[in-house]
């Protein structure tokens, strides 16, 4: 901050410096002057704000002399000199000095509401055609503080609501959006303020054409991705990222190419764009955006690269591509991701239905343990659990069918015989996989609880020591008091051709709820669904439930012919539907240079196709 004269009031020094910066259109200097988070500044820079706070409370107290503060601020910005910009900017300065005078010691919610109001007023000034561009760094500075405050309020929402109810008069409505009957949370309300700033930046400055060249320094389009990233961060925080659809559509229609902007803006924007498409189950689009964000992120920014990798790996798993433990998961930013993704990929690859469901189940109903599944909680916390549950179980079934076909199916050794697999074997393999995982989890929970019990509580009479084994052997159900008929087809000899083919099926009693097991109609539906998705090649019969692979001998055998590569199938199908027939993958919300050229030539531009642009200058350069 510039050094102020000893004989001049602090307020006059601030106003003089601000007016001088407006004349030179130096918005960055004004943003350095009107700081909100001055507590984080070095001690020597905090002193002018402390002195200004004392001066405002002495000369312009809120109770008696507030109008003189308003008059003083408005008098320095002549409407003759600054035109229509004078009024909204004067109101912004008045709001700032009131905040500095009244709200520096207020509770967090009152400060947050004032910051939101102040930011909204600055966004209004941003709309001025001549001087609005200088408000971009000011709005961004305020938006960062607003985002931090809104995030903190969101994390302590229940505490804030309790404070509101205690302080608000009976029957009154509390502003801000965090009350139980409010339409928006405070975070979403703050995102709407920044959305208005984004719209004004997207409109650009009058007289500046939208071309494929970088925007000049006086064009408000310089702030498109800065304001968009701030807004997207808040929408992500409040779980409303899907509400950004209109924002991405507007960027498609009006924004300059993303490649013209600095790397920090590109990486942040592509990260949020990738998360948006992931949340909407457009995994190929998400992969394209997140891959570009990861490649352009600085190698030393491990925290940011890790955040990108979580969603990049999840999106790839959903389409059948798994991370390599030796290359990708061994990198510094991915070391702590391996314990979550490696077991999941192993369960999908091996067709272990029980392990897959256990990894993605929040609470295990088959154990008495009060501990929840930490793996599922981690996936849920990062908002990838539902996509993994929904899209990956069908891949587990495919792997399970493939394993059973390899070990127990008829591979067509005789000439002119079509290879086939009896579907009841798949049913029994699924039952075994689920029951094994449940038994292991139950034993682990019992062992953990037994180790915590006292010796007297863990004592078992010798005459009852073999009771559990007898119950499992006879199929006796303690809850109903009846014997359950064992499924005659559950023999391991019927499931495998050789002892080493699959792990031996342990004898087990079926639970009282038979609906937990996959029925034969469900198995048939799964097989037909896999055939429909081209993840299996062949046909299924209903009368004698089988899956058959015709023409296998000409295509390299039933395993190669009947089970095509998952990634190749999904990428070809999703790529063709996304692109409308081929070419580069179209990612809505990602504007690149080619779409602008096509629109300029009458080709009807739109969403940007993904290409790499070399030699593009930074925006404003």
Specify whether the CB–CB gap between 401 and 426 falls below 8 A: yes
80-84, 172-176, 259-263: which range is least confident on average? 172-176
Phi and psi torsions of 514, nearest 5°: -70, -15
Average pLDDT over residues 8-17: 88
pLDDT for residue 115 is more than 60: yes
Specify whether the CB–CB gap between 562 and 549 falls below 8 A: yes
pLDDT for residue 269 is more than 80: yes
**pLDDT of res. 7:** 54
CA triplet 464, 465, 467: central angle to 5 degrees?
A: 65
Please write the tens of the pLDDT for every residue from 414-426.
Answer: 667 888 899 999 9
Specify whether the CB–CB gap between 517 and 431 falls below 8 A: yes
The domain spans of the chain are 1-162+183-207+215-239, 342-444+484-550
**pLDDT of res. 96:** 93
Rounded mean pLDDT of the chain? 77
Please write the tens of the pLDDT for every residue from 532-590.
Answer: 999 999 999 888 899 999 887 788 788 888 899 998 898 887 765 555 444 568 899 99
Please write the tens of the pLDDT for every residue from 393-419.
Answer: 999 999 999 999 998 888 877 667 888
**pLDDT of res. 368:** 42
**pLDDT of res. 555:** 80
**pLDDT of res. 442:** 67
17-31, 456-470, 514-528: which range is least confident on average? 456-470
pTM over 0.85? The answer is: no
**pLDDT of res. 514:** 41
Cα–Cα distance for residue pair 266/542, rounded to 1 Å: 53
Angle between helices 136-155 and 224-237 (to 10 degrees): 10
Residue with tokens 């433990």: 325
Specify whether the CB–CB gap between 96 and 118 falls below 8 A: yes
Cα–Cα distance for residue pair 265/244, rounded to 1 Å: 17
Cα–Cα distance for residue pair 245/237, rounded to 1 Å: 16
Band (279; pLDDT cuts 50, 70, 90): very high
Cα–Cα distance for residue pair 121/206, rounded to 1 Å: 21
Q: Which of 284, 261, 286 is nearest to 272 (CA)?
A: 286
Residue 521 has which token pair?
């109609």
What is the DSSP-derived secondary structure letter of residue 131? T
Strands 539-541 and 546-548: antiparallel
């Amino acid at each position: 901050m510039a050094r102020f004269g000893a004989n001049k009031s602090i307020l006059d020094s601030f106003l003089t410096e601000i007016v001088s910066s407006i004349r030179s259109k130096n918005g960055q200097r004004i943003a350095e002057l009107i700081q909100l988070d001055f507590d984080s500044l070095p001690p020597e820079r905090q002193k002018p704000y402390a002195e200004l706070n004392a001066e405002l409370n002495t000369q312009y107290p809120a109770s008696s002399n507030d109008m003189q503060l308003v008059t003083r601020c408005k008098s320095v910005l002549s409407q003759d000199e600054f035109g229509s910009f004078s009024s909204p900017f004067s109101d912004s300065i008045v709001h700032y000095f009131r905040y500095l005078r009244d709200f520096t010691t207020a509770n967090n919610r009152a400060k947050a509401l004032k910051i939101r109001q102040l930011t909204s007023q600055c966004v209004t000034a941003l709309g001025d055609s001549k001087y609005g561009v200088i408000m971009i760094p000011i709005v961004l500075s305020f938006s960062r503080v607003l985002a931090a405050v809104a995030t903190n309020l969101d994390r302590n929402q229940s505490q804030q609501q309790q404070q509101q109810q205690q302080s608000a008069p009976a029957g009154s409505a509390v502003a801000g959006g965090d009350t139980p009957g409010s339409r928006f949370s405070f975070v979403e309300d703050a995102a709407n303020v920044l959305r208005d700033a984004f719209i004004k930046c997207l409109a650009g400055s009058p007289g500046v054409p939208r071309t494929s060249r970088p925007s000049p320094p006086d064009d408000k389009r310089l702030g498109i991705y800065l304001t968009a990233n701030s807004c997207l961060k808040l929408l992500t925080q409040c779980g409303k990222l899907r509400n950004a659809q209109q924002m991405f559509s507007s960027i498609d229609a009006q924004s300059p190419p993303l490649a013209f902007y600095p790397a920090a803006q590109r990486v942040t924007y592509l990260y949020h764009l990738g998360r948006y498409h992931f949340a909407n189950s457009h995994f190929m689009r998400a992969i394209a955006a997140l891959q570009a964000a990861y490649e352009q992120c600085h190698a030393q920014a491990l925290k940011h690269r890790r955040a990108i990798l979580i969603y990049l790996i999840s999106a790839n798993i959903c389409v059948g591509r798994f991370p390599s433990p030796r290359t990708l998961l061994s990198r510094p930013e991915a070391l702590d991701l391996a314990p979550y993704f490696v077991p999941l990929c192993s369960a999908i690859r091996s067709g272990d239905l029980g392990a897959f469901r256990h990894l993605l189940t929040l609470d295990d109903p088959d154990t008495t343990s009060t501990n929840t599944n930490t793996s599922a909680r981690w996936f849920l916390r990062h908002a990838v659990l539902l996509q993994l549950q929904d899209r990956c179980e069908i891949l587990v079934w495919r792997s399970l069918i493939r394993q059973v076909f390899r070990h127990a199916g008829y591979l067509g050794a005789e000439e002119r015989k079509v290879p086939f697999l009896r579907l009841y074997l798949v049913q029994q393999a699924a039952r075994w996989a689920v029951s094994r995982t449940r038994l292991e989890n139950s034993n682990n929970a019992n062992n953990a609880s037994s180790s915590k019990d006292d010796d007297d509580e863990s004592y078992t009479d010798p005459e009852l020591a073999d009771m559990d084994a007898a119950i499992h052997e006879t199929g006796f159900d303690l809850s109903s008091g009846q014997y359950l008929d064992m499924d005659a087809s559950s023999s391991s000899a019927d499931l495998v051709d050789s002892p080493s083919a699959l792990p031996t099926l342990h004898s087990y009693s079926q639970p009282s709820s038979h609906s937990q097991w996959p029925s034969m109609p469900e198995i048939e539906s799964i097989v037909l669904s896999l055939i429909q998705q081209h993840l299996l090649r062949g046909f299924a019969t209903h009368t004698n439930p089988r899956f058959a692979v015709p023409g296998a001998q000409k295509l390299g055998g039933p395993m190669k012919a009947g089970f095509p590569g998952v990634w190749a199938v999904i990428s070809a199908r999703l790529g063709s539907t996304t692109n409308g027939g081929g070419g580069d993958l179209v990612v809505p919300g990602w504007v690149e240079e080619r779409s602008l050229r096509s629109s300029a030539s009458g080709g009807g531009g739109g969403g940007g196709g993904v290409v790499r642009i070399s030699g593009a200058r930074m925006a404003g350069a």
